[in-house]
Structure 1
Amino acid sequence: MDYLLLTGGLLGLFFGGEALVRGAVGIARIFAIPPLLIGLTVVGFGTSTPELLVSVDAALQGVPDIAIGNIVGSNIGNILLIIGLSALIWPIRVVGGTLVRDTAVMMAAALALVPLFWLGEMGRLSGTLLLGGLAISLVWAFLTAAADGADDGVRRMPIWQALLWVSVGLAALMIGARLLVDGAVSLARLHGISEAFIGLTVVAVGTSLPELATSLVAAFRRQSEIAIGNIVGSNIFNVLGILGLTAVITPIPVAGRFLVFDLPVMIATSGLLTAILLTRPSIGRVAGAALLVAYAAYVWAAR
């Protein structure tokens, strides 16, 4: 039964990723919006839904380390693990003004956590400030989208069909992520693996499975803008949206290790991605392999 859950989860994730990418590209073409912007909003935010559910539930149940660790760990994994794997499949090439804008927002969001974590608690005021930052970034993104949009001459699908693909994709991603995490947790307990280890690995990676599936499918389909936009958008939404909303719902104590270790790693990985994207024409397979090695080193150091 556990293996059936795992198999069903994988099928749901990859079917959902395929449907979501197809619908997102369709929406981009209908409205002459750059695929990168669609990846940053519809895809990036939509695939962050598991992080939202886990963090809010953990905070309400009095487990703040999971609430914060889920977000910080997911952002690190998004860059090092998911972009690394995607680049191994197909070099990621992204150009345009939207890249400069949104990587700047991602870095600003990461750096904004330093003074907030320093306070020792993410209160409702801190959460409100983060949500305000999200609103500003969305308005900025949509106001500048028209300047980057272009008609590529490709036949457009009807709007209802594009929205249907997006809806089906998001639903399949959510169901697939849940099945895969449930199956992995059950198998881990069956084989006597500690629940602490399950939380650090299955929960953190499990909530990032929609991003993983979506970016891998986008890489297979040669949709580099969706692959990278999904990650950058997800990282922005994780910090400004999910952590902000969670803190507004209930204050979250911040453990010291996040300020001295995990957050600096998240800032460093965000800076590394920004530097690569703004100084290189693509993220090739060698860079992808290096990102994967860096992720393995982080997991080993975080034990």
Structure 2
Amino acid sequence: MPPTAIISTLGFVIGIALLIKGADLFVGGGSGLAARYRISPTLIGFTVIAFGTSFPEFVVNMQAVVADAPDLALGNILGSTVANIALVLAICAIVNPGVIRQEPGVRGINEVLLMLGAVALFALLAVRMVFDLPAGIVMLGSFALIMWVLWRQGVATETAFESHGSRDYLLTGGGLLSVIIGANLIVTTATDIALVFGISPFIIGVSMVAVGTSLPELATSLTAVVRGEGGISVGNIIGSNIFNLLFVMGSAAVIRAIPIGSYTDILAMSLFAVAILPFFVESNRIRRGWGFVMLGAYAGYIYSLFGSG
């Protein structure tokens, strides 16, 4: 094996280790902050944790637009949105379907509808086949409005978690730093390996980079599910999608116009977004079954991308 491949493999393994440990610390600190400030754990997932775990998407997209690689930026956002639903939430539903429930202090399905509204706006703006400055301004303004609505709805009267005092800040900050470093290592090494095979930037963005930047969501949400903290898990996934679609893509569009090669990719992402609804039915059996269905759909989606690329 060439030395560069050995280094990339080692970096990938280290990245996974940092990601898993960081996610555990991050969820613990986020839960403590929810208790400390009497904020719904779901709202913590929507905002602090969703923003933190989506930071790799933000960094990748800023680097992509500066480097004049718009296909990579668009592919990353579309792929991350699909992966958050059909991979991250699907796995969480399979592992513990009972945690996907309404949390006290929030309106449950309303947050899902906000995410679907963000998807609809994204798809509507994409009809022009370019995300430019006007589209970016609309996205950022809509994102600010959604965050305001969530904060207005999110104060809880009770919380099931205990604060660890000032240690919560250290846990959250240290965990976030570990997650970001781990994710960047994974994305860098995986992308280097993929480029050897001459894969197009868009497909790399939708698959390798999107999965890599979604690993923080997977690690954080799965850790929350195992610990029974469903509000953080679901809120993290939904909040990350809103953050990616409106804030990350809006910020990138303000910096540089991003052309859309095919509207079919936008439609595919929108269909996966609508497919989140069965995860919120009452039956745990249906939730778990739908998780397996979505994993199969995701595998087919990725296979079709490489088959067409």
Task: Give your verdict on TM over 0.5.
Answer: yes
Structure 2 unaligned spans of 5+: 1-6
Q: Indicate whether 1:95 and 2:73 are aligned.
A: no
- The alignment yields a C-alpha RMSD, in angstroms, of 1.9
- What's the counterpart of residue 205 of structure 1? 211
Question: 2:40–2:159: 8 Å Cα contact kept in structure 1?
Answer: no
Structure 1 residues 138-194: Cα deviation after superposition (integer angstroms, max 9, x where no partner): 111111112x44143x54221x211211111110011111222233344456xx533
- What's the counterpart of residue 249 of structure 2? 243
- What's the counterpart of residue 18 of structure 2? 12
Q: State the SS of the aligned residue for 2:293.
A: helix
Question: 2:79–2:205: 8 Å Cα contact kept in structure 1?
Answer: no
What TM-score, normalized by structure 1, do the two folds share? 0.90
- What's the counterpart of residue 114 of structure 2? 105
Q: Which moved more, 1:14-23 or 1:120-129?
A: 120-129
CA distance 1:280–1:298, shift in 2 (3 Å): farther
- What's the counterpart of residue 232 of structure 1? 238
Q: Amino acid of the residue matched to residue 135 of structure 2?
A: S
Deviation at 1:286, TM superposition (A): 2.2
Q: Amino acid of the residue matched to residue 197 of structure 2?
A: I
Q: Amino acid of the residue matched to residue 132 of structure 2?
A: G
Question: 1:215–1:226: 8 Å Cα contact kept in structure 2?
Answer: yes
What TM-score, normalized by structure 2, do the two folds share? 0.89
CA distance 1:238–1:290, shift in 2 (3 Å): same
Question: 1:94–1:281: 8 Å Cα contact kept in structure 2?
Answer: no
Decide which of 133, 153, 158 is 1:150's aligned counterpart: 158
- What's the counterpart of residue 263 of structure 1? 266
Decide which of 49, 52, 59 is 2:58's aligned counterpart: 52
Decide which of 135, 138, 144 is 2:144's aligned counterpart: 135
Decide which of 121, 131, 134 is 1:125's aligned counterpart: 134
Q: Indicate whether 1:34 and 2:40 are aligned.
A: yes
Deviation at 1:281, TM superposition (A): 4.9
Q: Amino acid of the residue matched to residue 302 of structure 1?
A: L
- What's the counterpart of residue 220 of structure 1? 226
CA distance 1:129–1:33, shift in 2 (3 Å): same
Decide which of 194, 198, 207 is 1:194's aligned counterpart: 198
